[in-house]
């Protein structure tokens, strides 16, 4: 049985940075080749970054991607890597397609190419185009209908792209008919909580369906709201996990696999997919002693989510050219968790916390903010806002909710002023539960360039805070979040004695209801049937529905759930529909 040393390179590409991404591919290909790999695979659209959105429709971007691919093939040859087969994802165009109404301009393709000997040995385009959740690929790409099969060192290897794995039929079905020994899938699969379990199960099932070993290589790193978690893996046709890369880390996973020798082509009926074959090397390699590859441990749920939030913030800061962040420290749990995430992402020296006490701020809000700064080592200052609020009040004579919101807006202006003066990125500290219910003040606590907790429910905020402190203790470090910030009742402190519980139900109940309504699209009747109080359902659904305009203006934030606000859940702002329980 022929052997093949395969390298899966899960790398952190940057959208639009084609030259930098090409350099990254070349560097990792050198690393893989030095480890003896004969086939080196990179993720979906690694040369352009992913997702490129409307950049896919620009002629100049399309040309730059294709030129980078050709240049990479030559650079690999010049570096002495011409005999290594390297497969990369990139943006291509279908030159045969004619302009047509309803077809993306220029007929762009989400494509892959196998490079060998200084040239493109074979190329193909993604067949199944996802058009749900965060994906709009019907808008950007035209589908391909080719399954590329390369004979390399006596093994037939097929290649597919991401959604082709998730959908029945198409390239995976064609791979079985083509009698391949290895199926390599290039992915740009965003993170969601517990998706790694679904991914492994899917890969095992598809490997069995294809009758081939399956290698899955994924992107890692943050891109706006999305985070890619890596988690590249190799599974056998019987479902055994042969190797698995770490989550949220760049890695080159080198794996020795025993594969069946290539036989005569079968090419059974593959529906609308055509099998195209190319021979690079027909003879197997001499056998060698195989090193066993350890399968790394998986992260627990809280550790996984926390790693996603750190990765998303770090890459948003780094890729957009910021060096530091600034946020308001209220002494509450949300700002404390955001500060801890920021310190872990970019270093405490680059995190600037600002305490902005008003006339209604409690003593513990100030002392807890001081405590957090001491625990994390972040930069810290106090800017009392009471004189500024008084100046506005003298001019405007506000009362009630308008007066409460004025305090939040003065804090927002303060943070934005310091941001402009000192070059920091402002972090909004609100969580998903508050944002869902409209408990955020536009131009107040909603100001900022990024919102790390935008997709994190309040109950998970507590879990993550407790986990982060426990993890610090396990490492022998100082827990970053003050215990009092975790245990005290949450409050905006915009009026005397104010608590969140004055106007919202217990957060465990609220988050359960919100999960059903927002992520599962449950109706009001469904929610009542599930056991929620009818009056509470009608109140919360009304709060959610009328706050759409606020969410539309909220900063981007890391997606961790099945359905995040923004790219996932898109509702009209002007909307006369209201969920009601039938009489």
Active site residues: 44, 126, 162
Tell me how crowded residue 472 is: count the other CB atoms within 10 A of its CB.
Answer: 16
- The secondary structure of 519-537 as a DSSP string is IS---HHHHHHTT--HHHH
In angstroms, rounded to a whole number, what is the distance separating the alpha carbons of residues 559 and 144? 29
Are 162 and 111 contacting, i.e. CB atoms less than 8 angstroms apart? no
Q: E strands, 137-229, where?
A: 146-152, 155-161, 182-187, 213-218, 220-223, 226-229
φ/ψ (deg, to 5) at 28: -70, -30
Helical segments of 231-379, H only: 301-319, 333-346, 363-376
Q: DSSP secondary-structure letter at 226?
A: E
Tell me how crowded residue 177 is: count the other CB atoms within 10 A of its CB.
Answer: 19
Ramachandran assignment for 106, one of left (phi > 0), alpha (psi -120 to 50 degrees), beta (any other) = left
CA–CA distance from 328 to each of 377, 381, 408, 535 (Å)?
15, 10, 10, 35
Are 245 and 253 contacting, i.e. CB atoms less than 8 angstroms apart? yes
Tokens encoding 185: 């899938």
Ramachandran assignment for 320, one of left (phi > 0), alpha (psi -120 to 50 degrees), beta (any other) = alpha
Alpha carbon dihedral 375, 376, 380, 382, in 10-degree steps, equals: -40
Are 524 and 516 contacting, i.e. CB atoms less than 8 angstroms apart? no
In angstroms, rounded to a whole number, what is the distance separating the alpha carbons of residues 227 and 221? 6
């Amino acid at each position: 049985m022929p052997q093949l040393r395969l390298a899966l390179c899960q790398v952190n590409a940057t959208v639009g940075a084609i030259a930098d991404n090409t350099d990254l591919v070349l560097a990792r290909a050198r690393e893989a080749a030095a480890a003896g790999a004969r086939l080196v695979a990179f993720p979906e659209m690694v040369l352009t970054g992913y997702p490129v959105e409307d950049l896919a429709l620009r002629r100049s971007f399309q040309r730059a991607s294709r030129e980078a691919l050709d240049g990479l093939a030559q650079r690999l040859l010049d570096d002495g890597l011409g005999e290594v087969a390297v497969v990369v994802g990139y943006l291509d165009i279908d030159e045969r397609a004619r302009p047509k109404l309803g077809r993306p301009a220029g007929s762009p393709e989400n494509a892959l190419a196998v490079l060998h000997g200084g040239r493109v040995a074979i190329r193909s385009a993604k067949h199944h185009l996802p058009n749900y959740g965060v994906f709009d690929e019907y808008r950007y790409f035209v589908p391909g209908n080719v399954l590329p099969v390369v004979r390399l060192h006596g093994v037939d290897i097929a290649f597919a792209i991401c959604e082709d794995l998730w959908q029945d039929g198409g390239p995976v079905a064609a791979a079985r008919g083509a009698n391949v020994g290895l199926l390599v899938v290039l992915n740009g699969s965003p993170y969601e909580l517990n998706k790694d379990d679904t991914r492994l199960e899917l890969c095992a099932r598809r490997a069995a369906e294809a009758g081939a070993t399956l290698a899955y290589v994924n992107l890692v790193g943050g891109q706006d709201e999305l985070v890619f978690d890596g988690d590249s893996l190799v599974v056998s046709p019987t479902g055994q996990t042969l190797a698995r890369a770490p989550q949220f880390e760049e890695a080159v996973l080198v794996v020795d696999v025993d594969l069946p020798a290539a036989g005569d082509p079968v090419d059974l009926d593959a529906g609308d997919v055509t099998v195209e074959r190319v021979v690079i090397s027909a003879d197997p390699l001499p056998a060698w002693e195989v090193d066993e590859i350890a399968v790394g441990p998986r992260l627990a749920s809280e550790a996984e989510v926390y790693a996603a939030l750190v990765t998303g913030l770090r890459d948003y800061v780094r890729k957009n050219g910021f060096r530091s962040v600034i946020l308001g420290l209220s002494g509450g749990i949300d700002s404390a968790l955001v500060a801890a995430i920021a310190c872990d992402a970019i270093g405490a020296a680059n995190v600037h916390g600002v305490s902005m006490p008003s006339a209604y701020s409690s003593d513990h809000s100030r002392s807890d903010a001081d405590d957090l700064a001491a625990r994390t080592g972040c930069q810290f200052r106090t800017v009392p806002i009471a004189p500024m609020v008084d100046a506005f009040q003298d001019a405007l004579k506000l009362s009630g909710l308008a007066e409460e919101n004025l305090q939040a807006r003065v804090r927002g202006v303060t943070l934005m002023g310091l941001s402009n003066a000192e070059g920091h990125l402002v972090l909004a500290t609100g969580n998903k539960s508050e944002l869902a219910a409209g408990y955020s003040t536009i131009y107040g606590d909603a100001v900022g360039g990024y919102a790390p907790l935008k997709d994190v429910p309040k109950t998970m905020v507590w879990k993550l805070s407790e986990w982060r402190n426990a993890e610090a203790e396990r490492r022998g470090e100082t827990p970053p979040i003050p215990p009092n910030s975790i245990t005290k009742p949450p409050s905006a402190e915009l009026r005397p004695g104010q608590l969140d519980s004055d106007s919202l139900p217990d957060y465990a109940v609220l988050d359960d209801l919100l999960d059903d309504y927002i992520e599962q699209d449950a109706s009001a009747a469904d929610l009542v049937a599930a056991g929620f109080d009818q009056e509470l359902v009608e109140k919360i659904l009304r709060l959610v529905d009328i706050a759409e305009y606020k969410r539309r203006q909220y900063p981007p934030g890391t997606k961790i759930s099945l359905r995040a606000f923004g790219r996932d859940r898109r509702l009209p702002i002007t909307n006369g529909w209201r969920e009601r329980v039938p009489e």
